[in-house]
Every structure is written in C-alpha cells, then in structure tokens.
Amino acid sequence: MRGITKILILLMALIFLFSACEKYSPNSNSIIGKWELANHNVTSNGQLAYNFDYQKGESVIYHFALNNTYTLSAADSILENGTYKLDSNRLSLHCIIRPGYEISGTFNSIISNTTLTLFNNGQDMNGAYKETFIYNRISKK
C-alpha cells in the first residue's frame, strides 16, 4: 500500500509539473508565421494609381518569429533581418543593413487568420495617397 501511495504522489507531482509549464499556442490572429505578398496598391487623390496582384510563390515573404524578429525574403534570398514591434494595430519594423545604415518603418495593420494588411496614408506633391500591401498567411510557424 505504501508503494502505491508513493507512486500516486509521484504521478500527481508530474502531472502538476507539466500542467504548470507555460505553453505557447499561437492566436489565429497573431502575426507569428510566414506571410506572402499577394497585392500592392496605391490610391492617389481618391483614384487607383497602381495595383499589382502577385502570383503565389513569386513575391516577397515576411517571416515573423515569436522572439520579435523578422526576415524578409524573396526567391530563397534573404533581403532583410530585423526586429518588429506590434502595438494594437501598428507594426514597427527596424533593420540594420550594415553598420551606419538602418531602415525602419511603421505601418497601420489589420491581422486576420489568413490575411495581413499593411497600409499607410501620406501626402506627396500629387496630393493625398494611401499605400496598401496585402499578405496571405502561408504558415503559422
């Protein structure tokens, strides 16, 4: 009987230990994963100025990792490595290309289970414009 009690106590301790470990389960609306550019468009002064639909497998891919790093790649070549910060609906990217040369940007963002939309409004010499990038999720890891 004492042996069974010890085994039960050990079993309960193991169950408690493994159930207490924090597990990461990505939210279906999380940015974590790989996203392929599907469409890029620009509207200037209310008129569509530019619109391009990309074929699957023929555009850039963002890979956002859990540790707040990202990679931008195209055709098996890495274009950028950097860090990102997502605050509500604002995505900020920062990348050091080489010492002394950095790029960064902030986008408005909308994330759903299958689509990541990045957009910005701005003003140039032609007037007001809105630039939109639409990415499709290709992986949740």
Tens of pLDDT, residues 60-112: 999 999 999 999 999 889 999 999 999 989 999 999 877 788 989 999 999 99
Q: What is the tally of structural domains in the chain?
A: 1
- The label of the residue with tokens 């002394």 reads 100
Question: Does the pTM exceed 0.85?
Answer: no
CA 53 – CA 83 distance, rounded (Å): 27
The answer as to whether 2 is a domain residue is no
Q: Which of 35, 32, 29, 33 is nearest to 134 (CA)?
A: 35
Contacts of 122 (CB under 8 A, 6+ apart): 128, 129, 130, 131
Q: What is the CATH number of the domain that holds 60?
A: 2.40.128.20
Q: Are 75 and 82 in contact (CB under 8 A)?
A: no
83 belongs to a structural domain: yes
